A = this chain, B = another copy of it.
Amino acid sequence: MKNHNYLPSKILEGNERALAKAISMIENQEKEGIEILKKLYKKGGKAKVIGFTGPPGAGKSTIIQCLASILSERSKVGIIAVDPTSPFTGGALLGDRIRMQNLFTNPNIFIRSMATRGSIGGLAPMTLDVVDLLDIAGYEWILVETIGVGQDEVDVAMCVEEVVVVLVPGLGDEIQALKAGIMEIGDIFVINKADKDGSELTYMEIKNFLEMEGNKDKMPKIVKTKAISMEGISELAEILKDDLKRKEKEKNLTEKKKNQLKTRLFQMLTKEFQNVFNQKKELEKTIEDLFWRKTDPYTAVEVLKKEILC
């Protein structure tokens, strides 16, 4: 076994290779990686963590690229891509990749894509561990890109401080319905490719949705961008900063953060629960009995509950 005792101090110094190594260890749920996080956890808590969500093709990665460029002038910026179709995770067109070269060579920007689907123990808990490591390593802004479909991604979105929903003009009614789950968690809405036809219509649709759903006092802001030529990005950065400042003053922020911690604990513990469940010797026999209808699901659950839960 290799000695990784040097990692914690290197991470605190801001060494990127040490950070990358620790992230891999955490992704593989290696004991040593977990020990590093345990040891360093108290050093974190300073980063601003922003989630970006929205349908594939809306331009989330381009928005994140541009925003990271601006923010990196004054701060260290971490990017975590959870979306498998993202250029950050290799799912890019050539043009995207070329544009992204600048980011990869910027010393103030650290980019990491997460192994998606089927990662050990679920995506959300893992992503939050990586957020912690970046936070500990001194990244002031952490931008998390998710695909915006499915529970995993919604879970991630619920664990960040601010959710930016990226949309494009011309999404039909059907896709709007699919997005319903995302719409409700957005703090800021971006209409990207705002020079495209239908931009005004999309603006009105979002506005109507928010007015129907929302609290008039803290209506989410809607920003129009054309990320590919940086239009609207400075405005988005300012709105983000303002919104975060506003939130810091809110009384219920502590409550919200505690709820997020509760969700995180629950997700991590569910993984443990699943392991215990799968390893129960009685499980196979119970399933066999259920299959032959010698028992019923409720009785089976009562029996297993006594075996598994204290």
Contact = CB atoms under 8 A, between A and B. Distances in A.
Interface of A: 34, 37-38, 41-42, 44-45, 55-57, 85, 128-129, 132, 149-151, 171, 173-175, 177-178, 181, 254, 257-258, 261-262, 264-266, 268-270, 272-274, 276-277, 283, 286-288, 290-291, 293-301, 304-305, 307-310
22 contacts: A37-B297, A37-B298, A41-B295, A44-B293, A55-B177, A56-B174, A56-B177, A129-B297, A149-B149, A150-B150, A171-B174, A174-B175, A257-B291, A258-B287, A258-B291, A261-B297, A262-B283, A265-B283, A265-B286, A268-B297, A269-B304, A272-B309
Contacts of A173: 57
B261 A287 contact: yes
A207 to B, nearest CB: 22
B272 A56 contact: no
Q: What is the copy number of this chain in the assembly?
A: 2
A286 B261 CA distance: 10
Given A37-B298, A257-B291, A291-B254, A304 B174 contact: no
A301 B269 contact: yes
Contacts of A283: 262, 265
A150 to B, nearest CB: 7
Contacts of A270: 270, 273
Nearest to A296: B41
Nearest to A262: B287
Given A38-B298, A265-B286, A266-B277, 14 more contacts: A41-B296, A41-B297, A56-B177, A150-B151, A254-B291, A258-B291, A261-B287, A261-B290, A268-B301, A272-B305, A272-B309, A273-B308, A308-B309, A309-B309
A7 to B, nearest CB: 16
B34 A298 contact: yes
A42 B293 contact: yes
Contact of A178 (B175, B261, B295): B175
B265 A290 contact: yes
A177 to B, nearest CB: 5
Contacts of A129: 297
Nearest to A34: B298
Nearest to A154: B150
B174 A149 contact: no
Given A254-B291, A296-B37, A269 B308 contact: yes
Contacts of A177: 55-57, 85
Given A262-B287, A269-B301, A293-B44, A174 B277 contact: no
Nearest to A26: B298
